[in-house]
Chains A and B, each alone.
Chain A
Amino acid sequence: GNSVTQMEGPVTLSEEAFLTINCTYTATGYPSLFWYVQYPGEGLQLLLKATKADDKGSNKGFEATYRKETTSFHLEKGSVQVSDSAVYFCALWETSGSRLTFGEGTQLTVNP
């Protein structure tokens, strides 16, 4: 079956530090890949997406590139802000399926 594995958390950074959150996946077909973010007390929000190999998704300074050869979709940001503190979920959707499959989430805390 499909699965998503994220780097173990939590992650604590200082403001303006570089962020990487690793995500790898297992899928039988050709999935679309997503990063969702969950701010405290709020619902899941789509952060960025990529639908095919070598696509780069980007939003709010965050980027992730769909790497089929390494089955990865690592999230990066060059300079984090305190407001980026949240839980980040990597997820995949396989076109033949009816569901999103999520990783376990990574808690990010950015200190001023």
Chain B
Amino acid sequence: GAGVSQSPRYKVAKRGQDVALRCDPISGHVSLFWYQQALGQGPEFLTYFQNEAQLDKSGLPSDRFFAERPEGSVSTLKIQRTQQEDSAVYLCASRNVGASSYNEQFFGPGTRLTVL
């Protein structure tokens, strides 16, 4: 079946612009995660949804970052008033919480955001 998809794949924004990044998880997956991956670094957790509920947003770096998943499927990560330090690859992952015990997360290809 189809994997996790993200759009756009690449986004260039001028400093101060707002951006919205979309994630389509694997159909039926209950859990959805957002990670931020700076150049040359490992991904860092941003936020976690179980269905439509945002259960953990402790990784969001500032109040300019906002994520939603209103119907428990597609999720949007919004960044307001973008800054150069927001430049990174934003990864989305989903997980079927009813699957095996090892909690595998399936990752999308990411959105590369460049803030000029």
Question: In chain A, what residue has the closest Cβ to B108?
Answer: A43
Separation of A47 and B94 alpha carbons in the complex (Å): 17
Contact of A89 with B45 in the complex, beta carbons under 8 Å: no
Which DSSP category, helix, strand, loop or mixed, fits chain A's interface?
strand
Does residue A42 face the partner (Cβ distance < 8 Å to B)? yes
Chain A residues closer than 8 Å to B44, beta-carbon distance: 102
Question: In chain A, what residue has the closest Cβ to B46?
Answer: A99
Within 8 A of A (CB), among B88-107: 91, 93, 101-107
Does residue A46 face the partner (Cβ distance < 8 Å to B)? yes
Does residue A45 face the partner (Cβ distance < 8 Å to B)? yes
Separation of A32 and B95 alpha carbons in the complex (Å): 15
Chain A residues closer than 8 Å to B103, beta-carbon distance: 32, 93, 95
Question: In chain A, what residue has the closest Cβ to B48?
Answer: A98
Question: In chain B, what residue has the closest Cβ to A91?
Answer: B42
Partner of B109, one of A42, A99, A100, A104: A42
Q: Interface of B with A (CB < 8 Å)?
A: 3-4, 33, 35, 40-45, 48, 55-56, 59, 91, 93, 101-110
Q: Interface of A with B (CB < 8 Å)?
A: 4, 32, 34, 36, 41-46, 49, 51, 89, 91, 93, 95, 98-105
